[in-house]
Amino acid sequence: MSTWDAVWAGLIHILEPTAFLYMMLGIVISSTLVALPGIGSKTAIALLLPLAFTLDKFEAICLIVSVWAVSNTANSITSILFAVPGGSGSQATILDGYPMARNGEASRALSAAFTSSALGGIFGAIVLAISLPVLKPLVILLGPPEFFVLILFGIAMVSTLSGKNKAKGLVIGILGLLVSSVGIHLVSGIPRFTFGNLTLMDGLNLIPVTIGLFAIPELISLAASGSSISRMELNDLDSGRRQGIRDSLTHWWLVIRSSLVGVWVGMIPGLGSSVADWFAYGHARATEKGAEETFGKGDVRGVIAVDSATNAKEGGSLIPTLAFGIPGSSTLALVFGGLLIVGVKPGKEILTTHLDVTFSFIWLLIIASVITSLLCIVFIKPLAKATQVRPTLLVPIICAVSVVGAFANSNNFGDILVMATFGVFGYWLRLHGWPRPPLLLGLVLGPEAERHLWTSYQLYEWEFVLRPITGSLLILLIMILGWPTLKVLFAKMREEKV
């Protein structure tokens, strides 16, 4: 089968009426479930697997792959409306999405999020399709030392996420790293800061911490102020919706860059899926014009960057899976575990004799993403109205959603305590003008940085910094970090000369 034949065959398989119906079923179930905080695509797939036993090959592919492919769209809803993260990939959506909702722009924020999510999904699929011939060298280019330095770049974003007061940001970022060390240390097996407590042994979960840091303080202030989430009259919902779509299209260059960040994070095994949104947000904040002033206060570009990256990531994560036949994430392991039932195995076969299967995946990433975004856009109006509901009604609902979200993540009551603790702490931070995002950044990146540092050291001792890519990246990092100081020095030297 030639490549072009496979492209068409892949499309035709999923357009067969029953297969298409199963795709729609996957989209609806997945979107409904991931919109609820704490429930991710993994749970959705596990629930649908028994059904897959009864299906044909491409029907099963349509059902399972679409559940996975669209799991990053609807999870922005609660992030934007209530500052409750819908999933581990949508934390950074809160940073600008929620302020937009407060400014009466919920409709615009949601529609920008959904549109850029679709665009990101399409972009990820295209990159995947283009890189099919060169998958292997791409994946083995980088090892633990390079991962470590790349993550250092992420940690350096603390300063861009800190707002005006860099020193406060740094303190909170370090606190985040410290908090991230709670749990059984992966590399040595030693428990740290667990105090014999079973909940703490697995470390602090991202979702309860995020709900605590962002949603709980908002709840408290909503209840206290007595006003609805949106502090202003809602703008015209229809025009907000159109505006959001236009925003994503006019910032096409930002969408492409953020999608690239997403694909790249997805492609690198070992960076973890909750990193993509932060990298994209940090990138946008560092490179967009005037971002310093407007980001964090409701800039639509913050939403666009994050949502295009999280959806593009899925295409990226298929790259190592196809190249080496080894699922690139635990979710993908589940997807392929399910597809085994209909005889689809990751690896050589679907890249050679059954290439049409791979193209069905790619088409699904594109078609399912677009349909999901369109469906979500249809529901924007009733969703956005939630920001006008009076707090006596809304606060108990969000409170329940928060508690269930924190619990559903791992069915553990301890996580509700974690949420409450960070809720109190988050409120204190908000009250005293300390930035909260650096804490999450430390929590997300800390364990990854530490593990890759240890592995690099075990492999090469300190000589790992001399590896060509690692060394160049390190020098680049030092230059970026030192640039503001150097700039001042250069200016002084020039003055002295004059």
Partner 1 sequence: MQLKKLLGAAAVAGLVGQAAIMSQVASAGSHGDFYKGKTVTVVVRSNPGGGYDTYGRLIANHIGKHIPGNPDVIVQNMPGAGGIVAANYLNTQADQDGTVIAIFDRGAAFTQRVGKEGVDYDVSKWNLLGSATGEAYAYVAAKDAPFNSLSELKALSDEQKFSATGPGSDSYTYTELLQNAGMPVKLISGYVGTQEKLLAIIRGEVQGTAGSFGSIAEQAEAEGLKVVGLLGSVPSRPELQQLAEFMPDSQMPTMAVAVAPLAAGRPFATTPNVPADRVKILQDAFAAALNDPALLAEAEKAGRPIDYMGPQDLAELYGNILAASDEVIKKFTETPVEKVTAKLEEVGKKGKKIKFQGKKGQVSSSISKSRTTVKIGGEKSKRGNLKVGMECTIEYNPGHEKREAKLVDCK
CB of residue 347 to partner 1, shortest distance in Å: 5
Please give the DSSP secondary-structure letter assigned to residue 194.
-
Residues that bind partner 1 (CB under 8 A): 16-18, 21, 42-43, 45-47, 49-51, 53-56, 139-140, 143-144, 184-189, 191, 194, 196-199, 201-202, 269-270, 320, 324-328, 330-331, 333-334, 337, 340-341, 347-348, 410-412, 451-452, 454-455, 457-459, 461
Q: Yes or no: say if 304 and 253 are a contact pair by the CB < 8 Å rule.
A: no
Choose among 77, 67, 133: nearest CA to 106: 77
- Of 33 and 429, nearer to partner 1 (C-beta) is 33
User: What gap in Å lies between CA 276 and CA 307, rounded to an integer?
Assistant: 10
Q: Yes or no: say if 122 and 368 are a contact pair by the CB < 8 Å rule.
A: no
CB of residue 456 to partner 1, shortest distance in Å: 9
- Of 270 and 471, nearer to partner 1 (C-beta) is 270
User: What gap in Å lies between CA 374 and CA 119, rounded to an integer?
Assistant: 12
User: What gap in Å lies between CA 93 and CA 91, rounded to an integer?
Assistant: 5
- Of 63 and 284, nearer to partner 1 (C-beta) is 63
CB of residue 455 to partner 1, shortest distance in Å: 4
Radius of gyration in angstroms for the set of CA atoms belonging to the chain, rounded to a whole number = 23
CB of residue 135 to partner 1, shortest distance in Å: 12
- Of 16 and 221, nearer to partner 1 (C-beta) is 16
Q: Which amino acid is at 319?
A: I
- Of 43 and 221, nearer to partner 1 (C-beta) is 43
- Of 9 and 51, nearer to partner 1 (C-beta) is 51
User: What gap in Å lies between CA 280 and CA 472, rounded to an integer?
Assistant: 22
- Of 31 and 117, nearer to partner 1 (C-beta) is 31
Q: Yes or no: say if 41 and 69 are a contact pair by the CB < 8 Å rule.
A: no
Neighbours of 197 (CB within 10 A): 12
CB of residue 333 to partner 1, shortest distance in Å: 7
Choose among 177, 138, 183: nearest CA to 154: 177
Joined together, the tokens standing for residue 181 give: 């060390």
CB of residue 87 to partner 1, shortest distance in Å: 14
Distances in Å between the Cα of 89 and the Cα atoms of 49, 120, 274, 386 are 23, 14, 5, 23
SS3 content of the chain, % helix, strand, coil (to 5): 75, 0, 20
- Cβ contacts of 490 within 8 Å, gap of 6 or more: none
Task: Compute CA 207 distance to the chain's CA centroid, rounded to the nearest angstrom.
Answer: 12
Q: Yes or no: say if 472 and 465 are a contact pair by the CB < 8 Å rule.
A: no
CB of residue 458 to partner 1, shortest distance in Å: 5
CB of residue 414 to partner 1, shortest distance in Å: 9
- Of 223 and 404, nearer to partner 1 (C-beta) is 404
CB of residue 443 to partner 1, shortest distance in Å: 17
CB of residue 196 to partner 1, shortest distance in Å: 6
- Of 268 and 386, nearer to partner 1 (C-beta) is 268
Choose among 456, 443, 390, 469: nearest CA to 175: 443
Choose among 271, 269, 329, 257: nearest CA to 150: 271
- Of 220 and 326, nearer to partner 1 (C-beta) is 326
In which residue are the tokens 């995020």 written? Answer: 210
- Of 37 and 217, nearer to partner 1 (C-beta) is 37
User: What gap in Å lies between CA 106 and CA 100, rounded to an integer?
Assistant: 6
Among the residues of 251-408, which ranges form H helices? 252-267, 276-287, 291-294, 300-324, 330-339, 348-351, 355-378, 380-385, 391-408
User: What gap in Å lies between CA 113 and CA 93, rounded to an integer?
Assistant: 8
Distances in Å between the Cα of 214 and the Cα atoms of 85, 101, 253, 427 are 9, 14, 30, 8
CB of residue 191 to partner 1, shortest distance in Å: 6
CB of residue 498 to partner 1, shortest distance in Å: 48
CB of residue 445 to partner 1, shortest distance in Å: 15
- Of 20 and 379, nearer to partner 1 (C-beta) is 20
Distances in Å between the Cα of 289 and the Cα atoms of 99, 248, 294, 477 are 19, 16, 10, 22
Joined together, the tokens standing for residue 340 give: 């085994």
- Of 171 and 184, nearer to partner 1 (C-beta) is 184
